[in-house]
């Protein structure tokens, strides 16, 4: 299986980025990743401010997928996520929802033992490794890897885990897929601007889907299918995610718009992914059993 080393990384997603590897559709690839601090914080006396913004949120890649053309869909199946034996958390003034309460920077090293994050001598939290940044190049210009959008990137969706599948829009030839910012565990919101940030590696299978239109990005994990949206405000992101799922139900299940809206109000779960990035991210979760009732399966 081909691998992309963590040293091959970008800080912005752009069609100008030279691909570091080319593969065919239906290939499996391993992405080695640094943590969001470029592995520069190794002890609690090293602070967030010492890292430098030119080292924040590196995304390994980009990967060129042969046959991927604009208006195609890139299907990325997360086959495995392996993480290191310790992670990092930080708090800092003016960052995150609670940033106005902090007067100094604090770093916390979080050991990982027996599939648990050792938060302190009383609290051990079961890990659920996830991918914070996963995205493709936009059609033009560049978008910092720390900013989420239609192209994916820093969505910080805690359900982007092993066994999930994410669908992204192809905007340029080859798609130019990059990923990084792994978390050992994260709650919805990521309210202090970090989770348990950790290096690791992600094994994915990449497939080009042609002649299909979906309201992207979309994520399938466990018993749910999800529409994900990012916008300047959480209200706007929530509205877009909801309307995208409503569109999906009408277009794919051929539901009447009123019936689709009523059903979403009964069993659609509107959730927050993160509220700390330059754009906020929300998701609308919808149970897959309904799709099965309509004999519909994702591509």
What pTM, to 2 d.p., does this model score?
A: 0.97
Whole-number pLDDT of residue 182 = 98
Q: Which of 209, 235, 259 lies at the terminal end of a domain, its last residue? A: 209
**CATH number of the domain encompassing residue 167:** 2.60.120.580
**Domain co-membership, 191 together with 66:** yes
Whole-number pLDDT of residue 109 = 98
In the predicted structure, residue 171 carries a pLDDT above the cut 90: yes
In the predicted structure, residue 190 carries a pLDDT above the cut 90: yes
Structural domain that includes position 256: 218-293
Averaged pLDDT, 100-114 = 97
CA distances from 128 to 186, 187, 188 (A): 8, 10, 13
Query: Are the C-beta atoms of residues 277 and 228 closer than 8 Å to each other?
Result: no
- Note the pLDDT tens digit of each residue in 54-68: 899 999 999 999 999
**Domain co-membership, 111 together with 167:** yes
Averaged pLDDT, 91-95 = 95
**CATH number of the domain encompassing residue 246:** 3.10.28.20
Q: Which two three-digit tokens encode residue 196?
A: 């348990």
Averaged pLDDT, 129-154 = 98
Query: Are the C-beta atoms of residues 167 and 209 closer than 8 Å to each other?
Result: yes
Mean pLDDT of the chain: 98
**Domain co-membership, 204 together with 262:** no
Using a pLDDT cut of 70, give the percent of the chain over it.
Answer: 100
Tell me the backbone φ, ψ of residue 87, rounded to 5 degrees.
Answer: -125, 180
Q: Which of 151, 177, 209 lies at the terminal end of a domain, its last residue? A: 209
174 within some domain? yes
**Domain co-membership, 232 together with 150:** no
298 within some domain? no
- Residue 232 makes CB contacts below 8 A (sequence gap 6+) with 279, 280
3-class secondary-structure state, position 232? coil
> Within 10 A of 199 (CB to CB), how many other CB atoms are there?
22
**Domain co-membership, 228 together with 96:** no
178 within some domain? yes
Tell me how far apart the alpha carbons of residues 155 and 228 are, in angstroms, rounded to a whole number: 8
In the predicted structure, residue 53 carries a pLDDT above the cut 90: no
**Domain co-membership, 124 together with 203:** yes
150-154's contacts with Cβ under 8 Å and 24+ in sequence apart are: 150/216, 150/217, 150/230, 151/13, 152/217, 153/13, 153/59, 154/57, 154/181, 154/274, 154/277
- Note the pLDDT tens digit of each residue in 238-296: 999 999 999 999 999 999 999 999 999 999 999 999 999 999 999 999 999 999 999 99
Whole-number pLDDT of residue 181 = 98
Fill in the DSSP letter of residue 53: G
296 prior amide bond cis, ω within 30 = no
Nearest to 145 by CA among 63, 58, 230: 58
Averaged pLDDT, 40-44 = 97
Tell me how far apart the alpha carbons of residues 187 and 177 are, in angstroms, rounded to a whole number: 25
């Amino acid at each position: 299986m081909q691998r992309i080393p963590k040293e091959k990384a970008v800080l912005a997603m752009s069609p100008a980025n030279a691909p570091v590897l080319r593969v065919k559709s239906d290939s499996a690839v391993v992405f080695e990743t640094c943590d969001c601090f470029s592995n520069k914080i190794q002890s609690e006396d090293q602070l967030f401010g010492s890292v430098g913004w030119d080292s924040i949120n590196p995304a390994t890649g980009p990967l060129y997928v042969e046959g991927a053309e604009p208006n195609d869909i890139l299907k990325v199946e997360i086959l495995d996520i392996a993480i290191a034996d310790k992670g990092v958390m930080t708090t800092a003034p003016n960052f995150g929802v609670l940033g106005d309460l902090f007067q100094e920077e604090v770093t916390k090293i979080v050991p990982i033992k027996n599939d648990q994050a050792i938060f302190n001598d009383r609290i051990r939290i079961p890990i659920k490794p996830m991918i914070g940044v996963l995205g493709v190049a936009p059609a033009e210009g560049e978008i910092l890897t720390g900013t989420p959008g239609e192209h994916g990137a820093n969505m910080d969706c805690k359900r982007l885990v092993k066994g999930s599948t994410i669908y992204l829009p192809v905007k340029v030839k080859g798609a130019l897929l990059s990923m990084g910012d792994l978390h050992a565990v994260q709650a919805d919101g990521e309210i202090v601007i970090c989770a348990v940030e950790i290096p690791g590696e992600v094994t994915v299978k990449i497939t080009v889907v042609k002649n299909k239109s979906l309201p992207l990005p979309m994520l399938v994990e466990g018993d749910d299918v999800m529409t994900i949206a990012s916008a300047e405000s959480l209200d706007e992101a929530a509205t877009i995610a909801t309307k995208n799922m409503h569109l999906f139900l009408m277009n794919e299940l051929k539901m009447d718009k009123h019936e689709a809206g009523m059903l979403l109000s009964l069993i659609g779960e509107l959730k927050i992914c993160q509220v700390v990035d330059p754009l906020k991210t929300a998701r609308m979760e919808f149970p897959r059993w309904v799709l099965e009732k309509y004999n519909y399966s994702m591509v």
